[in-house]
Chain A
Amino acid sequence: MSNDRYHTVGKSILRRGAKERLTGNPIFCADMEPENALYLKAVRSRHPHAGILGIDVSSAMSVPGVVQVFTAKDIPGKNLMGIINKDQPLLAEDKVRSLADPVALVAARTPGAADLAAAAVSVDYDPLPAVFDPEEAMAQDAPQIHAKGNVMVQKKVCRGDVTAAFDKAHTIIEKTYRTSAIEHTYLEPDAGIGFPDEDGTLVIYASTQNPHYDHKEVVSLLGVEDHAVRIIQAATGGGFGSKLDMNVQGFIGLALYHLKQPVRYVYTREEAFLATAKRHPFVIHMKTGADETGRITAMQMKAVCNTGAYGSYGIAVASRAAVHATGPYAIDNVNLECTAVYTNHPFCGAMRGFGTPQMALAHESQMDLHARALNMDPLEIRVLNGVKKGTVTATGQVLTDSVGFQDCLTAVQPEYEKAMKGWLSEPTPAYIRRGVGIGGMWYGIGNTGVQNPSTARVAMDREGQVTLFTGCADIGQGSTTVLSQIAGEALGLDAMDIHVVVADTKYTTNAGATSASRQTYISGNAVKQAADKLADVLLTEAVNYLKIRKSDLRLENGRVFDSRHPEKQVAFSRLAPRILDKGGELSWQGYFDPETVPLHPDTGEGIPYSTYAFACHAACVEVDVLTGETSVCRVIAAHDVGKAIHPENVIGQICGGVAMGVGFALMEEFVPGETISMNDYHIPTAADMPCVIPIIVEASEPSGPFGAKGVGEPALIPTAPAIINAVTHALGKRIYALPASLERVLDASIASGHFNNCYQES
């Protein structure tokens, strides 16, 4: 859709908050130092699995500067947290389940005193056998992490007759894939501050992706009324899923509750690495069958993912993994199962894609294996199998609108062919082999088959000034800018002319989590609905004022005018008092919940999402066959986002997603006990980045605000499989475990004979 018909939608306007960030304003929690703030420090477990026989805080209390040391018995409310299943105590009671488990919390006048006291807390542990491998944890005699058993959840999606389809299949491919635990490595370590305000409300500023969830949890931990706690999202330096969990908020709440004086807690990088969620490592067994034309007729998938000591978002990860296992392909017969298992690994939670990036490695590798078996081009086999309007998905959902996968394939095709024909055959040094690979993906927008509404309020004051109130946490992706564009479009205002009140539980209503690529679509709709209601009130009053029928009226630049005679107009500032004086309403609430149907527990049948994003990446790589070094030269990234409300933000997400995908593919692996800090965990730098060519595809979503869907997670998902397929293309040998580190690539180079050939020649 042309952007000309829009006032602000589709334009890359100035991003809200950019100037403050460029000039170093104190907007992050670590920048805020309330007067006389106490410093908090958690004492964490020394064992991955142990009973707690006793905790002695007397030495810690005698450290000069210590104000209080809290243990679980000081928690006045319910000592359990978790967004989906509540299984994680704020402070351990009878046992610890991972090295990250907090057992006590120190409040002290200086950071040094807090550290000394934390070291002086004496815990009497009774070490228990620990288990770290999820498949081992499923054994009958495995150590039990939680009383209800180690299998946290098993999600299934079944459709058609898999056995019959495999019997008839021309080609069957069966492989096992493994992915690593990943640390989010947002640049801002978790942080928060708190203070009691003049009414006694416990005010907490936090680096968070979901202030309303934090609020609910802190209220529950403290056993207080809703109004006793106020959470305000401070500027948040990235999240990628990890700041959906309670990191420092509960500690701050507990200390504030007892001490009634300002406190702050800023994680060191080491603590952020130790104590916050990781991406679930997966083991995926995938079997697919194809007919002689290359059409995939059956898929059987069994995955086990390691959720570590606690559930966090693990149930969502398992369910999304099962639902997304087919990738963006029409497969009539499926038997898909993902099991999330407790272990003594640090807990795993949400990370950009919730299991979908792991699944994409498997389904995209299978696609290439089938293409190779049938001597087909990788792009051709994806076109043949790719979903279209009318495709029935594994859950039985018919895709009716905004199905832009084929458009994404078409969009990458010219660059892909150029690379296959031209670039591949260019001369290179003997030790360099080039490869080109494709990765496809689909991603359901919002939570899987469950309600996940958003609300918003758009209000006009007597002077005609509009304010948008949204609970949506902007964590750097730019949602505040996008939501003000949506409100602005509905009201004919420049987005920057709208005041915004964001992510403050006192003044904004729940917008749900900034996760699942849901805020543009779901909160965008809530904002649009509220703004449309306000617009309608203004139009109605303007009919009275101008004596012109509503259908001829338009809103623009803070006024209502006659579209046929633009000189006939009235300013919002004139309409607002007229409306108020008549008892009219200028403050409107919007609500949107995507239409979904819960998935059947046995078959997975249902409508998990009301819309999906699609994408295809093509990666061009150079592999040094003597060292195993892989250099990603170019990534062409086509994304169907429905409508790019702010194209520059969309491109920012795509380029950032590609970077995270490069890390997932080639370098990142969190190893508990070994990965301590950023020194041990390398993420891509500017020098590692390929040239990225983002292509925005807009298959308009009828239920989206101005047609928009989402892009945050989709941006990352196809990159790693595209790179792995490219490395395979270069070496003629496939890598089945991520990351494709130097060692793994070198092994593949040796196994394929390229190492020897090159070594002997040189």
Chain B
Amino acid sequence: MQTIDITLTVNDQQQTLPVKSNDTLLEVIRDYLDLTGSKEGCGEGVCGSCTVLLDGHPVRACLTLALEADGCAVTTVEGLADEDTLSPLQQSFIDHGAVQCGFCTPGMLISAKALLDENPSPDRQKLRQALSGNICRCTGYAKIVDAVAHAARPESGCPDCHTKDSGGDHD
């Protein structure tokens, strides 16, 4: 199949890539660029493991054609850490034990980053809604929500309750 050159700025590095018209952004990221952080969990936009930022907005890379991304800036999980130093969000995932099998983690981080970029101090309700497009089967989300909440408001400490707003619903 014929290829078409597109320009992508991936994690601040601009590159021109020959892509096929039916290549997804996820295939380009994983197979052409060898950035394996973005995962294919379902290939149909349900699980969120492939979430990347396209010009700052979270998209399902498995449902986005590479051609649609021409000229855009793409942020993948590989773009979060500064060399060996984890971003505060990543560090918060470590501090709160939010990583279990880790397959959903990159997509979860990207969705969380998108939320915090737009709304630096979301309440936990917003936060849970913003992450509800990313499926996790291991953690029950509790520690992921804690990690993102803490990254947003480090001074708030860790709530006792492991998902809903601290203080719970019926104390």
In angstroms, Cα B163 to Cα A691, docked, is 5
Instruction: Report the interface size class on chain B.
Output: 35 or more
Inter-chain contact A18/B94, CB cutoff 8 Å: yes
- Of the candidates A20, A22, A33, A188, the one whose C-beta lies within 8 Å of that of B93 is A22
Q: Which residues of B lie under 8 Å from residue A423 when comparing CB positions? A: 169-170
Interface string of A30-72 (1 = CB under 8 A from B): 1101000000000000000000000000000000000000000
Inter-chain contact A22/B94, CB cutoff 8 Å: yes
New A-B contacts (8) at CB < 8 Å, excluding given A422-B170, A620-B170, A686-B132: A21-B105, A22-B106, A22-B109, A23-B81, A187-B103, A652-B100, A654-B140, A687-B128
Inter-chain contact A476/B86, CB cutoff 8 Å: no
Q: Is residue A683 contacting chain B, with contact meaning CB distance below 8 A? A: yes
- Of the candidates B39, B109, B170, the one whose C-beta lies within 8 Å of that of A634 is B170
Chain B residue nearest in CB terms to A238:
B101
Inter-chain contact B102/A21, CB cutoff 8 Å: yes
Q: Which residues of A lie under 8 Å from residue B131 when comparing CB positions? A: 685-686
- Of the candidates B76, B77, B101, B129, the one whose C-beta lies within 8 Å of that of A237 is B101
In angstroms, Cα B169 to Cα A634, docked, is 8
In angstroms, Cα B35 to Cα A609, docked, is 46
Q: Is residue B4 contacting chain A, with contact meaning CB distance below 8 A? A: no
Q: Is residue B51 contacting chain A, with contact meaning CB distance below 8 A? A: no
Instruction: Report the interface size class on chain A.
Output: 35 or more
Q: Which residues of B lie under 8 Å from residue A691 when comparing CB positions? A: 161-164, 168-169
Which of B49, B99, B106, B171 has the most chain A CB atoms inside 10 A of its CB? Answer: B99
Interface residues of A in 137-191 (CB under 8 A from B): 184-189
Inter-chain contact B143/A188, CB cutoff 8 Å: no
In angstroms, Cα B106 to Cα A649, docked, is 20
Inter-chain contact B170/A693, CB cutoff 8 Å: no
Interface residues of A in 482-540 (CB under 8 A from B): none
Which of B31, B105, B134, B142 has the most chain A CB atoms inside 10 A of its CB? Answer: B142
Chain B residue nearest in CB terms to A426:
B170
Q: Is residue A25 contacting chain B, with contact meaning CB distance below 8 A? A: yes
Inter-chain contact A659/B141, CB cutoff 8 Å: yes
Inter-chain contact A678/B143, CB cutoff 8 Å: no
In angstroms, Cα B99 to Cα A69, docked, is 40
Interface string of B129-150 (1 = CB under 8 A from A): 1011111111111111100000
Inter-chain contact A268/B43, CB cutoff 8 Å: yes
**11 A–B contacts from the bound complex (CB under 8 Å):** A18-B102, A19-B86, A24-B38, A28-B36, A235-B101, A620-B169, A656-B139, A677-B42, A683-B137, A685-B135, A691-B164
Min CB–CB distance A601 → chain B (angstroms): 37
In angstroms, Cα B142 to Cα A633, docked, is 13
Q: Which residues of B lie under 8 Å from residue A186 when comparing CB positions? A: 101, 103, 137
Chain B residue nearest in CB terms to A648:
B97
Inter-chain contact B97/A656, CB cutoff 8 Å: no
Inter-chain contact B78/A686, CB cutoff 8 Å: no
In angstroms, Cα B100 to Cα A685, docked, is 16
Q: Is residue B118 contacting chain A, with contact meaning CB distance below 8 A? A: no
Q: Is residue B122 contacting chain A, with contact meaning CB distance below 8 A? A: no
- Of the candidates B38, B78, B170, the one whose C-beta lies within 8 Å of that of A23 is B78
